[in-house]
Amino acid sequence: EVWNPNGKYRVVSTKAMPGTRWINLLIEQDCRVEICTQKKTILSVEDIIALMGDKCDGVIGQLTEDWGETLFSALSRAGGKAFSNMAVGYNNVDVNAATKYGVAVGNTPGVLTETTAELAASLSLAAARRIVEADEFMRAGLYDGWLPQLFVGNLLKGQTVGVIGAGRIGSAYARMMVEGFKMNLIYYDLYQSTRLEKFVTGMSGSSVKIYQLLTLILMLICFLFAAYGQFLKANGEQPVTWKRASSMNEVLQEADVEAILINCSRGPVVDEVALVEHLKANPMFRVGLDVFEDEPYMKPGLADMKNAIVVPHIASASKWTREGMATLAALNVLGKIKGYPIWSDPNR
């Protein structure tokens, strides 16, 4: 799909994105906008090289793509100066490789904070009150009358929520759980959070240990490598072993049998095989997962677990937020093409 075919600058978007504001912004500034219409969800490096062609000034890409040496060198050969991920996370982007090839990189923070926190809160409530299980039960025609023990879950009020990662999203989530549901809060982060301190009723900061986070709800909302790696280190683990992080297994082993684990960060912070085993052994332990270790796949067994709620990486999927992310991504690329600093540079 091509907009403004005679535009001076060629900007490629590897996916169609919501709204038209981002397209209009680019067109108004003399860009020809090309949106990939390939049906497959995940584009390969070769697909993207073909899309960029011989002349490409900037690219808006997605978290499912592998933006490393190969793509940044190809973009630079095509005369490209700017790349924006349409995501706040940029673990799929090798920022050093981009710098080496003179490509500025942007991401889209801020506009997804509340939306993502709301999904985390939804998963927390749904897990605590077993809403998905109860819905399936009802639809299966199994309800034959009120019972004192039917789908008994947990009350959140007065219980403790532990948050790993007290950035924008973690703080918004913590605020919702403390102000809205009167939960107690403890958190782990590399830094003491000024946003969160007023809500903290337990422990906070980088010295919090795993066993201290074994609360009713443990919510993960950290960067894949930075915060989680530090968390492992603080607990005597080497971050390089993140894929098989025994610390996470330790959390699972020692967690309260009725604890709830929520992951809205990146899949690999949780060892999914260990998680499936734990879910099998502890039917009242519950999880709400928005992300998966080998996305888009789930590890064998997870889909069969009644005590798991699984959703397809939709934490930022509100209309307002997704349009905002698309607009920020366009501004990132446009800014650089026009000679301004990139709108949102993760290095800054």
Q: Which residues are catalytic?
A: 266, 295, 313
- Name the CA radius of gyration of the chain, rounded: 22
Q: Which is nearer to ligand DGY, 307 or 316 (CB)?
A: 316
Alpha helices in 64-167 (DSSP H): 69-77, 95-100, 113-128, 131-139
Angle between helices 319-337 and 113-128 (to 10 degrees): 150
Closest distance to ligand DGY from the beta carbon of 260 (Å):
21
Q: How far is the CB of 88 from ligand DGY (least distance, A)?
A: 4
In this structure, are residues 95 and 72 in contact, taking their beta carbons and an 8 Å threshold?
Answer: no
Cβ distance 268 to 293 under 8 Å?
yes
Closer CB to ligand DGY, 112 or 208, in the complex: 112
CA angle 109, 115, 120 (to 5 degrees): 110
Closer by beta carbon to ligand DGY, 160 or else 265: 265
**Closer residue to ligand DGY, CB minimum distance, 19 or 79:** 19
Tokens read off for 321:
């937020």
Binding region for ligand DGY (CB under 6 A):
63, 87-89, 112, 316
Tell me how far, at minimum, the Cβ of 186 lies from ligand DGY, in Å: 24
Between the CA of residue 278 and those of 26, 124, 256, 292, what are the distances in Å? 49, 18, 12, 16
Least CB distance to ligand DGY at residue 261 (A): 18
